[in-house]
Amino acid sequence: MGFFSLTQELAIDLGTANTLIIYNGKVVVDEPSIVALDVHTGKVMAIGQQARQMHERTNPNIKTIRPLKDGVIADFSATELMLRGLIKKVRTTSSMFAPSLCMVICIPSGSTNVEIRAVRDSAEHAGGRDIYMIFEPMAAALGAGLDVEAPEGNMVIDIGGGTSEIACISLGGIVCSESINVAGDVFTADIQNYVRQQHNIRIGERTAEDIKCAIGAAVSELDEEPEDYVITGPNMLTALPQTVTLSYNEIAYALEKSLVKLDAALMKVLEAMPPELYADIVKNGIYLAGGGALIKGLDKRLSNKCGLPVHIAEDPLRAIARGTGIAMKNRDKFSFLMRGI
């Protein structure tokens, strides 16, 4: 009956766009980081995918909240409610008592002590007993299958929903890193702005997200060109319905302004890197992880910019969660896990 199995070990990738939970080496929860609340009572109406379907479609009695912004907690109580709901989906033990939770949660490498404390407090309020932290680039490196403890340089770029993390890792620690608030949410806003300015059509966040997933590109010339994307929305001047067809070239143009900042951050880390590690990166290449790695041609663009080979990690969307799961299993071995901050 599992009478004595009173500790559940969870690895949590608490992301701006999606939250993933790994239990027993498997991804058991993969949901958007969004919660729908009743305006009057504060009661949770839906969490994750159900709440995302309500996003931007609610009546005045329901509000949808994305509790994380730019990789950090923006709404403390909503984060706690979301975590509680998602953890409840994992609880499958038949033990007589509710199990105590041991969690490893990944956080942006540029997090301040206050931001780290906020994540820790949210996890504790959601039922966590032992809380460990791991920086996202380290989790991404583990998830990409890199040997982070080796005396050689490994470089990862994790492009999530709120932040992009660029880091050089050696001997189980981050040697130099850069965290910028240019990531999935910014790309989505860029697409919304482009469609509004160029075609005079208003589109919502969800539509812009769908466009990004379908034809999001970082270069104007791709070997395999995706099909054009058709959207319909209200004309901003007449409010009449208007349909336009978008090509991936247009999206590449729309994202250019933000991608230039990503290029600059990459070059900044390469400049700060010790020369011995730089030689290792030339040999090993750079690994891309996170949802942003799926933008078509991004590896090619970054490779052309820095002259180094760029590889996309296997299943980049889940690479960080996978790495967090590995850290959970080996938390006694790894010195880069933080506890009690």
Domain match, 168 and 286 both = yes
d(CA 171, CA 153): 8
Domain count, the chain: 3
Q: What pLDDT score does 301 carry?
A: 95
Domain match, 172 and 306 both = yes
Domain match, 245 and 332 both = no
Instruction: Give bridge partners of residue 9 from the DSSP assignment.
Output: 102
d(CA 100, CA 85): 16
| Helical segments of the chain, H only | 49-54, 76-90, 113-125, 136-143, 184-199, 205-215, 248-272, 275-284, 298-306, 316-329
Please enumerate, as own/partner, the contacts of 126-131 that have beta carbons within 8 Å and a separation of 24 or more.
Answer: 126/80, 126/83, 126/84, 126/87, 127/84, 127/87, 127/98, 127/100, 127/101, 128/101, 128/102, 128/103, 129/7, 129/100, 129/101, 129/102, 130/100, 130/101, 130/102, 130/103, 130/339, 131/103, 131/105, 131/339
Domain containing residue 195: CATH number: 3.90.640.10
**Assigned domain for 306 exists:** yes
Q: What pLDDT score does 110 carry?
A: 81
Per the structure, the complete domain to which residue 284 belongs is given by 150-182+260-314
User: Is pLDDT above 60 for 60?
Assistant: yes
Other CB atoms within 10 A of residue 112 CB: 10
Q: What pLDDT score does 91 carry?
A: 66
pLDDT in tens, 63-118: 999 999 888 889 989 999 999 999 888 865 444 456 678 899 998 888 888 888 98
244 is written with which tokens? 């336009």
Contact 195, 235 (CB under 8 A): no
Domain match, 28 and 85 both = yes
Domain containing residue 266: CATH number: 3.30.420.40
pTM over 0.85: yes
pLDDT in tens, 291-327: 999 999 999 999 999 999 999 999 999 999 999 999 9
On average, the pLDDT of the chain sits at 90
Domain match, 170 and 284 both = yes
Domain match, 228 and 303 both = no
